[in-house]
């Protein structure tokens, strides 16, 4: 079964603090893709990153970084020096290479950055 778990429902941090959002996934596919999306208060879903199952190299993009570990089936997302504009709900998602084209979303983590 395909499943994405985001155990953190809500997180609050003070501006400039670092914060890590956890994502754990389950899949039987040998090839799969992991994603993070941001949903700001305005409601749209904004793509942040895609990672395929063969690429465990961590990625950094500005203040954002992602840590993919197949051994623990985790794809965690870290925001460094958080800003108020980072306040949003963040969704982790999984797409399977062998079992169709559906995206499986986690339940989301609501991040509030306090000025």
Contact in structure between 34 and 25 (CB atoms under 8 Å): yes
How many residues are given for the chain? 115
Is position 31 an interface residue for other proteins (rule: CB under 8 A)? yes
Residues with Cβ < 8 Å from 115, sequence gap 6 or more?
15, 84
Q: Which stretch binds other proteins (CB under 8 A): 14-22, 33-41, 68-76, 77-85?
A: 33-41
Is position 41 an interface residue for other proteins (rule: CB under 8 A)? no
State the nearest-atom distance from the C-beta of 95 to other proteins, in Å.
5
Pair type for strands 88-96 and 103-105:
antiparallel
Q: Which is nearer to other proteins, 62 or 100 (CB)?
A: 100
Is position 45 an interface residue for other proteins (rule: CB under 8 A)? yes
Is position 112 an interface residue for other proteins (rule: CB under 8 A)? no
Residue numbers 72-91 binding other proteins by CB under 8 A: 91
Distance CA 96, CA 73 (A): 14
């Amino acid at each position: 079964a395909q499943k994405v778990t985001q155990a953190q429902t809500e997180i609050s941090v003070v501006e400039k603090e670092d914060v890590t959002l956890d994502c754990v996934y389950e899949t039987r596919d040998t090839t799969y893709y992991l994603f993070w999306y941001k949903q700001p208060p305005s409601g749209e879903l904004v793509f942040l990153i895609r990672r395929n199952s063969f690429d465990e190299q961590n990625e950094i993009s500005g203040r954002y970084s992602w840590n993919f570990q197949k051994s623990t089936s985790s794809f965690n997302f870290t925001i460094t020096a958080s800003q108020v504009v980072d306040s949003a709900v963040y969704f982790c998602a999984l797409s399977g290479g062998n079992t169709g084209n559906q995206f499986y979303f986690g339940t989301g983590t609501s991040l509030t950055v306090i000025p």
